[in-house]
Amino acid sequence: MPELAQRLGTAPVAATVAMTIRARALRAAGAEVISLTIGEPDFATPKHAIEAGYNAALAGQTKYPPQDGTPALKEAVQRKFRRENGLDFALDQIMVGNGGKQVIYDAVMASVDPGDEVVIPRPCWTAYPLMTTLAGGVPVSVNCPENNGFKLRAEDLEAAITARTKLLVLNLPNNPTGAACTKAELGEIAAVIRAHPRLWVIADDMYEHLVYDEDFALVTLAAAAPDLAERIVTVSGVSKTYAMTGWRIGFAGGPRALIKAMVNMQGQVTAGVSTVGQAAAVAALDGPQELVAERRAIYRRRRDLVVKMLNEAPGITCRKPEGAFYVYPNIGGCIGRKSAGGRLIETDQDFAMALLEEKHVASVHGAGFGMSPYLRISYATDEAALTEACRRIAAFTAGLHG
């Protein structure tokens, strides 16, 4: 039998996927599993976006699309960047991809050569280092400790940059911690970037509308440091804000040369993006926005509920995040103990698996995101399920002994 490509050895199954698969297997066996693993809104896509996609299909918008996105969506993205981010991109500085993930992959493939280093603040979404490795680059992790709010410190960034550094990935609000930086904090990071003119930056702003505290105003890096705009590609999409994960529409604005190269990369892999999905995204971006604020308020209530209940669970402490729909509780007080079912909890992976097997709550262990001993818990589900899940977690930790 012919051999598979060696690069598969650098692309393991993501921790989120692995835990989701196990949770589904338990559910199929009859267990009442509450899954808090997937970063997917539980809300419905706005009706006017669905109707726009449907009408586009009926109108015959079902042919091959331009590789960089339809003119209608690129114009809507252009308006969105001006309106919400204070960024002014020409249309040839904007591209549309098959979800934000492909846009980021295009950016990595267009900027990273074999041996180039990519600085990735940790904890992080597992896709960033995997994409880097697949491109032949070298992921360089920079710890963002809990005592700094899981945020990147300028001095740590400076210490990580070498003559081989080519790219910085900055994800705010962050997956998995929900952390976000103030404009002043971004200014400190920008000062480091300014001193290294070889450095490209991907600003992954996919959770930009999911920021909850009234006194916290999220600013994207290119707006906080406009003099660096020619080195920053700003990525967003409709998945999280408008509950359109399955429509697969992401987009980016950035330097003309880099965007052109990203479109070229996309052309080699998938070419253009679903025309029906693009029509729906236009309606989401240009349509009524009241739903965004309403859902943000619901997410905030969920965040506050989960943080409160987890902090009441023995052995767990949970920082209140600024945004996204994740919490990243510290389970250090549970390590080294045994569960009621007799499992020894030596790692956060042990904790997550025992919690799933014994209490039927699915979470993702922190090691999967590069920092232990933590869990990632998604609160993108209803309050009743979250309340029951947190009750089960508290019962699990109360039963630890030894």
* Same domain as 273, residue 386: no
Residues 29 and 66 in one domain: no
Which residues, listed in sequence order, are joined to residue 95 by a DSSP beta bridge? 252
Q: Are residues 32 and 100 in the same domain?
A: no
Select from 286, 302, 329 the last residue of a domain. Answer: 286
pLDDT value of position 214: 79
Same domain, 353 and 265: no
**Are 227 and 332 members of one domain?**
no
324 and 245: one domain? no
Paired tokens of 288 = 């009524």
- Residues 208, 124, single domain; the answer is yes
Q: How far, rounded to the nearest angstrom, does the alpha carbon of residue 191 sit from its chain's CA centroid?
A: 25
Residues 383 and 315 in one domain: yes
pLDDT (tens digit, 9 = 90+) per residue, 301-319? 999 999 999 999 999 999 9
Residues 373, 258, single domain; the answer is: no
Q: Residue 12 pLDDT more than 80?
A: no
Asked if residue 346 and residue 215 are part of one domain, the reply reads: no
Beta-bridge partner residues of 35: 362
| pLDDT of amino acid 65 | 96
In a domain, 1, yes or no: no
| Structural domain includes residue 15 | yes
Over the chain, what is the mean pLDDT? 96
Q: pLDDT value at position 216?
A: 82
How far CA 351 is from CA of 179, 187, 195, in Å, comes to 23, 38, 43
β-bridge partners, 97: 250
Q: Exposed (0-12), middle (13-18) or buried (19+): which is 183, by Cβ within 10 Å? A: middle
The pLDDT of residue 16 is 74
Question: Within a domain: residue 173?
Answer: yes
| One domain for residues 210 and 347 | no
Which range of residues forms the domain containing residue 327?
A: 6-44+291-398
| CATH code at position 386 | 3.90.1150.10
Confidence of residue 6 (pLDDT cuts 50, 70, 90): confident
| Average pLDDT value for residue range 67-76 | 98
pLDDT band at 207 (very low <50, low <70, confident <90, very high): very high
Number of domains in the chain: 2
Residue 13 pLDDT greater than 80, yes or no: no
Domain boundary among 271, 286, 301: 286
Q: Specify if 136 maps to a domain.
A: yes
Q: Please tell me whether residues 147 and 14 are part of one structural domain.
A: no
Q: Of 258, 286, 314, which one is at a domain's C-terminal end?
A: 286
Q: Is the pLDDT of residue 36 over 90?
A: yes
Q: How many CB atoms lie within 10 A of CB 203?
A: 25
Q: Express each pLDDT in 276-291 by its tens digit.
A: 999 999 999 999 999 9
